[in-house]
């Protein structure tokens, strides 16, 4: 009982230090040669909201912000793929197909006004906002991203095959790439051009199309040839086996903040983890209201599956406030997140202090574990320890 009261007192009355200023980092130091490409330039100063890095990117298709390092890696790959599509469309076989079919030349979204999902200048990412708020085509029609006609004529299949070759997600939220994939696939269909012929048509060789070290979120091999509705069916089957109710599954698969590939990756990770009450994680995932938060949710599911053993074998999801945390085999509470780093900014201080106080009301008898990727600043580490957390690095 004394240990229980002592832990509660530590959580409830440890006063957080003054917040650190949001850090500013060098794009050159973080990205090296990738700070500039054929169709992008990254602003030299990279800000952070305390959880993830916030990149400002200038492109011919518009200027936008990318929230998070892994998401930035994926966006750069998408920009490379878009450049490859533009080169592909200039090849003789494509020009002839466009002319013969009477199609409008492809513009690849130049001068396009992007939906302001990640508007340049936002000081907080969707992840930061989350913390501050503490028969397949028929059965899964609402989850389908492909029209019935396009599924029949194979346009979406051509898009998926082309995207797979370019190591990008065919259901990307990046409008210029999504439109470019569809337009190029349409020309391929009109000219009876195979994917291999299309990639081979890229001037300079197919090798320039993709990065050999890409970490892009392309579709996994098991679902490469599946329509979005078929992927939804696979995801539903995996989640059903984990004990989720039909209505909870439908809310998740119908959330278009996630790509079908993201949903498959989450279901696959949860299937690997085999933790009780996976419904809690999926319920929070279904509430994601932005693409960067959806991606963060995918990265977190993958992290939990990969690092379960290091974290004491994660046996259960356990809700604390608005967070689906975990219990390890020894009964201890674990909060694990895929951050770029953790700085004790005002947002971080307020949210993690509030989370700590909520845990204090649960009568925990073990010090909870706070595990994260990325560097935790000395100030953040000191404050988390003061709040009663045991820190674990997942790098």
Beta bridge partner(s), residue 53: 48
- 346 belongs to a structural domain: yes
Query: Which residues pair with residue 335 across a beta bridge?
Result: 370
CATH of the domain at 312: 3.40.1350
Residue 272: what are its φ and ψ, rounded to 5°?
A: -70, -40
Nearest to 62 by CA among 104, 119, 121, 106: 119
Nearest to 314 by CA among 280, 283, 276: 276
Q: Provide the pLDDT for residue 115.
A: 45
Q: Phi-psi category of 192—alpha, beta or left, where left has phi over 0 and alpha has psi -120 to 50?
A: left
Q: Is residue 186 part of a domain?
A: no
pLDDT tens readout for residues 73-110: 999 999 999 999 999 988 888 888 888 877 777 766 65
**pLDDT of 331-349, one tens digit each?**
999 999 999 999 999 989 9
Flag whether 131 is in a domain: no
Residue 80 contacts residue 40 (beta carbons within 8 Å): no
Residue 227 lies in a domain: no
Neighbours of 368 (CB within 10 A): 24
Instruction: Count the neighbouring beta carbons within 10 Å of the beta carbon of residue 318.
Output: 18
Half-sphere exposure of 76 (CA within 13 A, CB side): 23
Could you give the number of structural domains in the chain? 1
Q: How far is CA 264 from the centre of its chain?
A: 12
Residue 119 lies in a domain: no
Domain span including residue 4: 1-19+308-395
Q: How many CB atoms lie within 10 A of CB 279?
A: 19
How distant, in Å, are the alpha carbons of 59, 80, 176, 340 from that of 38? 9, 8, 15, 26
Element (H, E) at 184: helix 175-191
Cα dihedral sign, 15-296-83-100: negative
Instruction: Give the residue ranges of the chain where pLDDT is below 50.
Output: 1-16, 113, 115-117, 135-139, 141, 148-152, 211-217
In a domain, 295, yes or no: no
């Amino acid at each position: 009982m004394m240990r229980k009261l002592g832990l509660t007192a530590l959580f409830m009355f440890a006063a957080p230090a003054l917040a650190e200023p949001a850090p500013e980092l060098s794009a050159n130091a973080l990205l090296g040669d990738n700070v500039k490409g054929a169709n992008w330039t990254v602003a030299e100063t990279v800000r952070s909201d305390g959880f993830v890095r916030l990149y400002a990117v200038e492109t011919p298709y518009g200027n936008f912000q990318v929230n998070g390092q892994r998401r930035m890696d994926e966006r750069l790959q998408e920009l490379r793929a878009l450049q490859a599509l533009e080169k592909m469309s200039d090849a003789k076989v494509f020009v002839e197909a466009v002319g013969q079919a009477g199609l409008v030349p492809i513009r690849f979204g130049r001068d396009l006004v992007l939906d302001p999902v990640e508007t340049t200048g936002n000081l907080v990412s969707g992840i930061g906002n989350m913390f501050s708020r503490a028969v397949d085509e028929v059965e899964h029609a609402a989850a389908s991203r492909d029209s019935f006609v396009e599924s029949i004529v194979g346009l979406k299949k051509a898009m998926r095959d082309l995207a797979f070759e370019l190591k990008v997600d065919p259901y990307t939220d990046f409008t210029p790439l999504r439109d470019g994939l569809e337009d190029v696939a349409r020309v391929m269909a009109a000219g009876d051009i195979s994917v291999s012929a299309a990639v081979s048509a890229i001037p300079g060789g197919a090798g320039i199309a993709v990065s050999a070290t890409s970490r892009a979120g392309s579709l996994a091999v098991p679902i490469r040839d599946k329509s979005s509705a078929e992927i939804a069916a696979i995801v539903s089957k995996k989640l059903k086996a984990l004990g989720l109710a039909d209505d909870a599954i439908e809310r998740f698969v119908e959330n278009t903040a996630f790509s079908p590939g993201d949903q498959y990756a989450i279901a696959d990770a949860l299937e690997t983890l085999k933790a009780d009450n996976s419904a809690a994680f999926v319920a929070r995932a279904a509430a994601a209201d932005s693409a960067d938060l959806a991606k963060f949710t995918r990265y977190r599911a993958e992290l939990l599956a990969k690092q379960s053993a290091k974290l004491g074998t994660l046996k259960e999801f356990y809700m604390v406030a608005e967070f689906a945390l975990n219990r390890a085999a020894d009964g201890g509470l674990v909060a694990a997140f895929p951050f770029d780093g953790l700085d004790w900014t005002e947002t971080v201080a307020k949210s993690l202090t509030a989370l700590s106080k909520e845990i204090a009301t649960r009568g925990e008898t073990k010090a909870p574990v706070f595990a994260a990727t990325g560097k935790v600043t000395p100030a953040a580490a000191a404050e988390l320890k003061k709040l009663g957390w045991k820190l674990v690095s997942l790098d």
